[in-house]
Amino acid sequence: MNNRGLKFILSYLKEHKTKLIIISFSIIVYTLTKLIGPFLMGYIIDNYITIPNVDGLLRWVIILFCVYAISSLAGWFQNYVNADVAAQTVNKIRTDLFNKIETLSLRFFDSTPHGELLSRFTNDIDNIGITLSNSMIELTSNLIQLVGVLIFMLVLNVKLALITLIATPFLAIIVTFLIKRTRRLYGEQQGKLGDLNAYIEEEISGLKVVKAYGLENEVVRRFHEKNKSFKDTAIKAQFTSYLMIPLMNGLSNVTLVLIIVVGSMLTLKGDASIGLIVTFINFARLFFQPINQMSNLYNQLGLAFTGAERVMDILKEEPDIKNTPNAKEIDVLNGYVNMKDVSFSYNDEKTILKRINIEAFKGEKIAIVGPTGSGKTTIINLLNRFYDTKEGEIYFDDLKIKNINFYSLRKRIGIVLQNTILFSGTIKENLLFGKEDATDDEIEIACIKANIHDYIISLPKGYDTEITSDSNVFSKGQKQLLSIARTILSNPDILILDEATSNVDMITEQKLQEAMNTMMEGRTSFVIAHRLKTIINSDKIVVIKDGKVVEEGTHKDLLSLKGFYNELYQNQFSSLKGIVNE
């Protein structure tokens, strides 16, 4: 059994000690009354049926009925209380997992597929929930029943009790072997399920690319490979686990036959009664029943404990980015930014940035240009402290970035990304991400400045229009305008615009440029764009190539150098001229 997974689940159950005591008491009542039943049956047969006594028989039948009624009531009550404990525990685990994921650094998500994380939230936690709802109670009840039956049998007749125990060593060998194999197979099954979910999530996200390149058949082929691998492992796991049932039933039936044969011989000798034989037959069934059920429960417990361990692995993850004990909370930034001798790599294999130096003063517009893969996006990640530098320092207003509380820092930095993310909810709710307590007037003013207000009020429900994952309320450019409005609402001191005007039509681009110019007024801004015409008027252009700053200056200065920037500019200008001529 997986001790780590068991300890993890028990750590959450500690919060419900009182309810667990109530459940335990109910289980004891349920199990004892269940065991008293066969004993009473034997007593009734020997004293009121073998020797007819109608009045006594009726009285004891009523008593037997009451015993089973109490057993049923205790069983219902324990399940009722346990359902509440299970629901609260699963809710707490899911909440803790979500909260932990929200605190983890981007480096964790770089190496963990989204589908794998979703598998933790769905399959793994669901398996824990099923175990807490049913399996844990059944396991406890079966253990008590097993011990109780054994005690009753030894007290009533040692010989018949020993016959019942003959099969126990064989059962132990079979169960131990099958359990070890099943545990390994279920672990493989969960891992392959996570891999399958990750692949499905990846392909659905990139469906347009798949269709654009005509890769449907290849994607389907890979899916079938992964799905078949999961299916084969699942079949092996199920086949191995289900072997326990027929093997155990066979052994228990052989034992019952032996009890009947030996019991009959004892009865003929006068050493046992018919009622005792009936009692032992029922006890034998009650003895093998929990063993049988526990072997089946082990499969579910194995899934739950494996899932618990997988969840626990994430909960034990520590974020790479942490606030120091003396990290300073900031309410405002003056706008001075200095990246000094900054080097960075996402892993030890390749250095992305090499001794970068970028200095920006309050209100300056700094453009960062360069070919794909040169490190432009990495600069954004470092300025927001999504990652820490390997070498060098980043300063905001002469404060080292590592000495600033990164939550307060990010509140003072506004970002407009190329791929704008909108969440399910209304337009207004999405805008409130910029400022949670914003008034309707503030929201409208921000949207007017972002050139998106007129479009929003043209919608039937205006700002209360619902945005869902499958809705097409906004075009890509309009999403960027909404992102600008959200950023304006947050009133940041520093702006980062990541290729915000690429892949949109000319009219939308003009609206975006106007909105960005309004937003950048009086703020230190970093603009990263491939379309160089959008950053011609920047106060300073920093040219990045292979992770290094190769040129720096105004547009005019850089053109006069006849260097790499001039080459980039002339190439874009020639391409644009060719399109116009066509």
C-alpha span between 87 and 272 (Å, rounded): 49
Residues 295 and 420 in one domain: no
pLDDT (tens digit, 9 = 90+) per residue, 504-563? 677 777 887 888 888 888 899 999 877 788 888 899 999 999 999 999 999 999 999 999
C-alpha span between 245 and 360 (Å, rounded): 73
Check pLDDT > 90 for residue 425.
no
Between the CA of residue 452 and those of 425, 448, 481, what are the distances in Å?
Answer: 18, 6, 6
Residues 289 and 436 in one domain: no
pLDDT (tens digit, 9 = 90+) per residue, 41-78? 888 887 878 777 777 788 888 998 999 899 999 989 99
Say which residues have a Cβ less than 8 Å from residue 486's Cβ, sequence separation at least 6.
430, 431, 433, 434, 446
Between the CA of residue 141 and those of 26, 27, 172, 285, 297, what are the distances in Å?
Answer: 10, 6, 19, 15, 12
Residues 23 and 161 in one domain: yes
C-alpha span between 192 and 200 (Å, rounded): 12
Can you read off the two tokens belonging to residue 207?
Answer: 């469906």
- Residue 445 sits in a domain whose CATH number is 3.40.50.300
Q: Is the Cβ–Cβ distance between 511 and 447 less than 8 Å?
A: no
Check pLDDT > 80 for residue 128.
yes
pLDDT (tens digit, 9 = 90+) per residue, 449-465? 989 999 999 999 999 99
Can you read off the two tokens belonging to residue 205?
Answer: 């996200």
What is the tally of structural domains in the chain?
2
Check pLDDT > 50 for residue 581.
no
Residues 128 and 246 in one domain: yes
Could you count the other beta carbons within 10 Å of the beta carbon of residue 249? Answer: 12
C-alpha span between 443 and 458 (Å, rounded): 16
Domain ranges, residue 515: 363-369+413-581
pLDDT tier at 282 (50, 70, 90 boundaries)? confident
Residues 178 and 311 in one domain: yes
- Per the domain annotation, does 206 fall within a domain? no
Q: What is the pLDDT of residue 276?
A: 83
Cα atoms in the 13 Å half-sphere on the side-chain side of 209: 6
Which of 51-60, 89-98, 309-318 is predicted with the least confidence, judged by mean pLDDT?
51-60
Check pLDDT > 90 for residue 290.
no
DSSP readout, 128-158? HHHIIIIIHHHHHHHHHHHHHHHHHHHHH-H
C-alpha span between 577 and 496 (Å, rounded): 30
Which of 87-96, 373-382, 477-486, 497-506 is predicted with the least confidence, judged by mean pLDDT?
497-506
Residues 273 and 418 in one domain: no
Mean pLDDT of 360-382: 90
C-alpha span between 113 and 62 (Å, rounded): 62
Among 293, 315, 337, give the residue marking a domain's end. Answer: 315
> Which long-range CB contacts under 8 A does 160-164 form with residues at least 24 apart?
160/259, 160/262, 160/263, 160/266, 160/272, 160/276, 160/280, 163/255, 163/258, 163/259, 163/262, 164/255, 164/259, 164/280, 164/283, 164/284, 164/287
- Residue 160 sits in a domain whose CATH number is 1.20.1560.10
Strands 399-400 and 391-396: antiparallel
Residues 434 and 293 in one domain: no
Q: What is the pLDDT of residue 578?
A: 44
Highest mean pLDDT among 34-38, 99-103, 154-158, 390-394: 390-394
- Per the domain annotation, does 232 fall within a domain? no
- Per the domain annotation, does 326 fall within a domain? no
- Per the domain annotation, does 141 fall within a domain? yes
Taking alpha carbons only, the member of 358, 350, 242 closest to residue 296 is: 242
- Per the domain annotation, does 213 fall within a domain? no
pTM of the model: 0.72
Q: Is the Cβ–Cβ distance between 355 and 348 less than 8 Å?
A: no
Mean pLDDT of 303-322: 88
Is 2 exposed, middle or buried (CB count within 10 Å of its CB: 0-12, 13-18, 19+)? middle
- Per the domain annotation, does 381 fall within a domain? no
Mean pLDDT of 131-147: 84
Q: What is the pLDDT of residue 570?
A: 87
Among 315, 330, 352, give the residue marking a domain's end. Answer: 315
- Per the domain annotation, does 34 fall within a domain? yes
Among 251, 280, 315, give the residue marking a domain's end. Answer: 315
Between the CA of residue 184 and those of 97, 126, 130, 195, what are the distances in Å?
Answer: 25, 20, 20, 17
Q: Is the Cβ–Cβ distance between 514 and 452 less than 8 Å?
A: no
Q: What is the pLDDT of residue 262?
A: 84
Residue type, 98: F
Q: What is the 3-state secondary structure (H, E, C) of 541-571?
A: EEEEECCEEEEEECHHHHHHHCCHHHHHHHH
- Per the domain annotation, does 138 fall within a domain? yes
Residues 158 and 21 in one domain: yes
Highest mean pLDDT among 227-231, 246-250, 264-268, 538-542: 538-542
Q: What is the pLDDT of residue 574?
A: 65
Residues 440 and 555 in one domain: yes
